[in-house]
Chains A and B, each alone.
Chain A
Amino acid sequence: MTIIPDLKYAKSHEWVKEEGGIATVGITDFAQDALGDVVFINLPEAGDEVVAGESFGDVESVKAVSDLVSPVSGIVKAVNEELIDAPEMLNSDPYGAWIIKVEQVTDREELLDADDYEALCAEEG
């Protein structure tokens, strides 16, 4: 399982990269592995508000429909529309297949660094 050193991680298995006031959010390798093959994604739209700890969309995999939980509060600046036609990218490249970019970030879930996230995954393994 891959964990990228310079990202931050939510306990609900999303990764966050904050750069220049923009938080980019995706799901982790652990999350995609637990989900199984993703067949569909429901995305928010640019301009929508997201709230830390609350659902901002969902993914359907062969195993379940599951919430996507936002690690930050803010306004959606962009969504990765490529995922609509190719949701399987979440499986093949979880850290490349970002889901949303959030601006005007006002609040964050408790975020873990790579080492703590690795420990969490080992525990949930």
Chain B
Amino acid sequence: MLRLVIKKEFLSSLRDIRLQISGTILIVLMLTAVLVGRHGQKEIQTQRTKAQSAMYDKWLNQGNKHPHSAAHYGQFAFKPKPVLSFLDIGLDNYTGISVFLEAHKQNEVQFSAAQDSNGMTRFGEMTAALILQVLLPLLIIFLTFDIFSKEREEGTLKLIHAQGLSMRQLFMGKVWGTYLMVLLIYLPIIILAYLLLDQRSSNLDPAIGSKFLSLTVGYAIYFLVFVILCVLISGFARNSGFALLTLLGLWIASCIILPKATANLADKVYPAPSQFEFRNAIKKKVKNGIDGHNPSDERLASLKQKVLDQYGVASIAELPVNWSGIAMQAGEEYTDRVYDQEFSRVEEIFNKQNRLSEWVGFINPYLAVRNLSMSLAGTDFHHHVAFAKAAENYRRAFVKKMNKDMEVNHKPGVAYGDYNVGQDMWASIEPFKYNLPSTSKVLFNQWRSIATLAIWLIGLLLLASVYAPKISKL
């Protein structure tokens, strides 16, 4: 019986001219978004790979110079464009793409696409994620708003009931029939997207397969949640008009109003410092000490005494190592500590803001799937922070190497300009390489979103099983 209802619902939807048109539009939009997105991702990644390689070449060929000058000469780290960003651009347009790595300074990741674009970027791009998260649910609404009410209004519900089909069976038949129709639109696009992945994709992210699969399953659950919710509302709506209004109201609230309201609320509840405040706090703490009672001149004097004691000498001139190298590395390390402290504070604020959005996801599955999708596509806040941290670790390592060389090899008494190193030294620094977080780490970060989708699915199935028999036949 269930199979009969599923087949009938699927056939009816397939033959509905309104759905044929809207489904075709949606498929064309998705095809365009996927193909254009994949082309764009490949092009951007090629550019960034080239830029990264060109900058490393410049580093290698900077000529002979003092290692500290080389630390100031610096390097660039380019953020790889995650492969799955062609499905979900996430925050990628708003976070920077590269960071200049140099001695003494933790620079920001800069040059976001939004900085270089006109105001239209603010309205978002037509990505596969936008279509899957926002437009496909709209199609589900048009598929389901009158799925019960129309049958009640036209009287077919009576005839079905007369044949001995229970309302629970009918309900599930309608759910699966509609879901089959949704999969008919969704799966071909997802298969096409999968086929567009190639060898280069797995080079950039070895976990691409499992992330793609998780993304596919995540969206499939989201659609099922939406289908059950819509069929349930249609079942209890007084008439088709009321059902449509209710569902459109819910769609506007969940896909448009709540996400904006949540972002504003998160910003109010957990206000983040401005970039100026962040930089100023670091500057102050470096100057006055982390606790505010350890000024830089006192720290330097204390370090000097410690080094003199260590080598058993009375003055810097008697030291067998380069004092400037030691002092600079100590300064770096202190600044790093301050930076880490301040950065952790800001990161925690952003994490709290994101967590609030994830908790709100418990009442709004759209937010849950949005967060999960961004995360699996590698375009969320966690990925940006992971890149920024990797770049900063790389900076610290290469600056430390320069300082160490200066400390050990730049003998006291030799003038700054007279101690130079060359390409062998530069080549000892490996090129910057950033590995995207693993699938398990991404999924762990998104446990709230996953739990949200699971709770919605199980909750709605339970609700349907209890309330479907109560749907009126008249």
Partners in one complex: no
Residues of chain B touching chain A, judged by Cβ–Cβ distance below 8 Å, are: none
